[in-house]
Structure 1
């Protein structure tokens, strides 16, 4: 009999190992492929030592427990739980273990396990190479349980009402009926979003041609369902989305990105460009608003941690973040050394490291009174911050060998550690600007960038992307006219 599941390549997907705990009770383990281990910086010759549990299958008590893990070696959570809080999903009282079992019992071979996985409900990932668990479309169920409880396990069962375990165990029960209702609801919303998108596309296309011919335009069919009306309004750009609605729309798009890329790749590229531009403009607006507030250093550190690409703009070469709040004076970057830098980054091409120290826009750069006529000296805050960065550089260079060995992070180098200080705002007044520029251009070991300079760079990048998009739009319009 031909098997219905996808044929797996051990070199690409890894392998399964089945361990029999006792008769009719087995554990299933994932042995990662060499490519994933290499991507994670692990020894590929020791693949079996990194095996990680995927399933527990108990025939006598009729339960199957999934251990959702991340199976992609390039991610930081490789071989760790896929979700933030939920570590296990149990299907209780199911009979699929017998349909996929060997000789009527639980499966004891990888082939039997693969047959069993094909019998999982449609809401579940069935390919072990993707870590099992709920399919992406239904991640909202996980999110809901994590928001409503501190449970680490979800049990889908007919034996308990939906809710946390009354005995205090960290189990969240979902009745099979409620689970199915949530699954159907998610599917229905996806369908409504697609229908709304088709309606708006159809009407928008018609209206472009109708305007050229002087024919009255049409409004898209919004439908009667409130979600359909919402999606239609949003697709027309007539209504702002709440954060929850944004997540729903993004989820629907993510679920169908592969099919869109296959059928209309140019539209997906265009959409990606639009999203990046809108995201950049929203980020710029948020940054500008933050400049108007008196925020502590910690808030700015969080902001740059969430948007590390802004740090790229402080240098003339590509950088990637190694770690925030890095202990440059200890034995490990994650330790409690005496010297902590706000960000440790590295050149993505040469691996040469750089240190970022973040102050606030309100930090004074120059002293208020001139040292001589037309000459202003750097403030104590600026001088102190420069010395702080230089000391961090000194400590880091002194400890680099031990840090690399203890952290097992060997792709960082200290050839010429660059320091960058983000501090204050550009001074007002010609004499102040002259004094500031004379000082910082002679500060060869510490790059000094002001907060408003970073804002200006964000704005210039936004203008560049928008202007760069105009020729493409113009060419598209010509193409449509010629077609």
Structure 2
């Protein structure tokens, strides 16, 4: 016989129904709300036909089983298991089932108490789908990477590992589960602390520089994790030897546990570091755009972060050399042609030439040539001819360059030229004139500094959304 459990808000959260299977054993089901069914393109009048199991509460054998499902109608896995392979999480250790006194709660309020009194490792609001809370999702990922099991049992009765009978159960000993929880919490604390320190310092330095006040370095802290996060958040590529040894030592001490229980943690840590580094890089890029930096500063910036140049193309490139000689030397010894960056397609070895100017470079003449038509500024057209001359010299002397440099894996089939210069013009007529000009520049691809910044921001937003989607 089914009886409804009064929800917090049935219209918003959906309805829970509880069925008694036999004395002291009940099953709890979720009936989705109308707005979730509408989002999923399902008939809200047939809500009861979409009810899905959420819980087994067994007082006789002292266990509670959670069925983690997706409860959001706008997701393709609506009402399906929200993890990749794990379909059930069972708690059979009374020490971690707070509020569960080995008897099925007789009232709806006491059923909710069971959920509310679960450890903080778990999601407690059924409207958001039960299971492990977002910061601990990596435990699920680790189990799925280490086994083909479909159920996790957190227990005080078995050692950690797959059940020997092959029934698809992965046991996690209570002490190992607690160890994983504490370690993940520790990483989150150090990450948050480092992020706050770097953001505070970045905001302070932007204002301090304009006031002529000395700028600060973020406080790295003592813990090697904190130092690591702070360093990458600043956009630095290298740690001091002392810090490298400290980080390696800390990770080495946990190597066995990571390898045995949570290999996905390292992958997640790397992803977090890369994302924080990218966000710090965007802050640095924006700060440089607001300053009158010379060409050399921008060349150094791209030399430190060559992946930004990759985004100017639709194919994979790797840097061959910065400040590369492409020929053109006269008998007197002068006139050497130097390109800012020589890169190549990592699959075909075809080369490309990058010429880096500054965001302050004029793009169009201020006075229109005709009504609504603007011509390219001398700095823009001159930079294009400079890149074309470098291409000409490089193609003419490619054989000698290969011999002199012993770089034999570069080719000049169709040398691509890319010019990073100026900012996107303001005004509709100026934008139109600029696009008409550069789209007809078939031999030199023109990219503005603010366009590269926008690509970085889009990449950051994409990675952040992907992280949230998988968390």
Give TM-score, length-normalised by structure 2. 0.53
Question: Which residue does the alignment assign to 1:9?
Answer: 9
Question: Which residue does the alignment assign to 1:288?
Answer: 315
CA contact (8 A) 2:93 2:174 kept: no
Q: Aligned-pair distance for 1:220? A: 2.2
**SS across alignment from 2:123:** coil
Change in Cα spacing, 1:46 to 1:97, as seen in structure 2 (3 Å) is: farther
Question: Which residue does the alignment assign to 1:229?
Answer: 227
CA contact (8 A) 2:36 2:74 kept: yes
List aligned pairs for 1:335-350, cutoff 5 A: none
Question: Which residue does the alignment assign to 2:81?
Answer: 81
Task: Please state if 1:130 is matched with 2:154.
Answer: no
List aligned pairs for 1:337-416, cutoff 5 A: none
Change in Cα spacing, 1:249 to 1:33, as seen in structure 2 (3 Å) is: farther
Separation in structure 2 between the aligned mates of residue 469 and residue 123 of structure 1, nearest angstrom: 34
CA contact (8 A) 2:232 2:273 kept: no
List aligned pairs for 1:418-437, cutoff 5 A: none
Change in Cα spacing, 1:39 to 1:461, as seen in structure 2 (3 Å) is: farther
Change in Cα spacing, 1:44 to 1:23, as seen in structure 2 (3 Å) is: same
Question: Which residue does the alignment assign to 1:106?
Answer: 104
Which has the greater radius of gyration? 2
Match of 1:162 among 150, 160, 163: 160
Question: Which residue does the alignment assign to 2:29?
Answer: 29
Separation in structure 2 between the aligned mates of residue 85 and residue 188 of structure 1, nearest angstrom: 27
CA contact (8 A) 2:311 2:455 kept: no
Separation in structure 2 between the aligned mates of residue 80 and residue 281 of structure 1, nearest angstrom: 39
Separation in structure 1 between the aligned mates of residue 149 and residue 210 of structure 2, nearest angstrom: 59
Q: Aligned-pair distance for 1:292? A: 4.3
Match of 2:148 among 147, 150, 175: 150
Q: Aligned-pair distance for 1:76? A: 0.4
Question: Which residue does the alignment assign to 1:247?
Answer: 271
Question: Which residue does the alignment assign to 1:121?
Answer: 119
Render the CA deviation track for 1:113-167: whole Å, top value 9, x for unaligned: 2121011111000000011000001001001111111111111000011111122
Give TM-score, length-normalised by structure 1. 0.52
**SS across alignment from 2:21:** strand
Render the CA deviation track for 1:207-235: whole Å, top value 9, x for unaligned: 44554565554432212211101110011
Q: Aligned-pair distance for 1:41? A: 1.1
Task: Please state if 1:173 is matched with 2:171.
Answer: yes
Separation in structure 1 between the aligned mates of residue 446 and residue 65 of structure 2, nearest angstrom: 51
Q: Aligned-pair distance for 1:245? A: 2.8
Change in Cα spacing, 1:244 to 1:95, as seen in structure 2 (3 Å) is: closer
**SS across alignment from 2:315:** helix
The number of aligned residues is: 291
Q: Which runs of 5+ in 2 are unaligned?
A: 1-5, 240-265, 287-304, 318-343, 349-413, 416-438, 458-471
Render the CA deviation track for 1:435-454: whole Å, top value 9, x for unaligned: xxxxxxxxxxxxxxxxx99x
Question: Which residue does the alignment assign to 1:184?
Answer: 182
**SS across alignment from 1:29:** strand
Task: Please state if 1:93 is matched with 2:93.
Answer: yes
Separation in structure 2 between the aligned mates of residue 17 and residue 232 of structure 1, nearest angstrom: 49
Q: Aligned-pair distance for 1:460? A: 6.2
**SS across alignment from 2:181:** helix
